[in-house]
Chain A
Amino acid sequence: MSPRFVYDGTFEGFLSVLHHLLNNVEDPEEIQTSEKSAQHSLWMESIYIRSDIEHSKNMKERICNEISPEAFRHIYYAFLSDRDGVEMDILQYVNLGWELGENLIYQIADDRVRRIHNLSAKVRREKHRLLGFIRFRLLPDDLLYAEIAPDCDILPLVAPHFVNRMSHRRWIVHDRKRKKTALFVDGELKLLDEEIIRPQHVPKKEDPYQSLWKRYFRDIAIWERHNPRLQRSRMPKKYWNMLLEKEPDIGG
């Protein structure tokens, strides 16, 4: 019976698994995060692979050189989709990649390729959406704070964008769903696997620009062109709770 491989849930950890598989020519039944495998039965033999920076770097290089950097990007993005079983799909993709090299990414008619590219497109889409939808609030001490709860783990993808945009400020993007935090202080970005502010501890007081924005948003629609369906298709309802302008009005 082929074994199950378990890793710590990080991308480095997953690359370390790939590295191990490649060097030991093993054929896994499953690759799982330790969190998920803890809920599983003990029937299957599991092997824990430790996250190893060198191994993961080496794997990244090999994929970039022997397949293509574009393929590596697809792998990374698909990984961030957080979808159950994505690890095995990526494994199939990489294995096909060793055969096809840089031609891999053009084989979109092949299911193994399409599956990964669709996932990566999904992540990319959500990342792009959130670059626009994230709303910062000004907290005391000039700290900008934003909360998100995306379907995919896009925090590491959006954080660098805000580093460019606000390099002289201090800010936090907080993924409520995954309890992760991107923290930017003193010119340095840190991605933390923990919540450093509990949402209930964030002061509720509105800053004046919030009401200005809401007001502005209401006034720019042309009612002769009113089109809520189009609005919803562009800005799906599931994101409305993070959008200030879509908050129901409380008085005034």
Chain B
Amino acid sequence: MTTFIATIEHVVKGPVWGCQDCGQCVLHSTGMTCPMTCPKTLRNGPCGGVRENGNCEVKPEMKCVWLKAYDRTQDWPLPATWKAEYNHLRPPVDNRLKGTSSWKNFFTKRDRWTPTGWKNSTDESQGVDH
């Protein structure tokens, strides 16, 4: 059943969003642009190599994924809660979820798991010197 859901998800999201099956979908928070299609798989914004014409450092013929994400977040009629998440710090990918269904992981909250050290480092905790 799990594989079945993963297959359906891939069939739907593959062609439309270029889904890479990371199993922890963040499309809603990135202007419906899959960050895993960035050659560096960056999940928190563009690298410093974006070309003058807005194209990718690695694939000069492709528009930088993060320029697309930024434009779409501004221009598309997406829910305000999604847009608000655009600037959130997305955690490193959990590589164990590769190839599993992010729909299932969303409903079981498995995709929200982060390592303890990461979880304890809240944005607020960084203002304080230890």
Q: Are A and B interaction partners?
A: no
By a beta-carbon cutoff of 8 Å, the part of chain A in contact with chain B is: none
- Give the A-binding residues of B (Cβ under 8 A): none
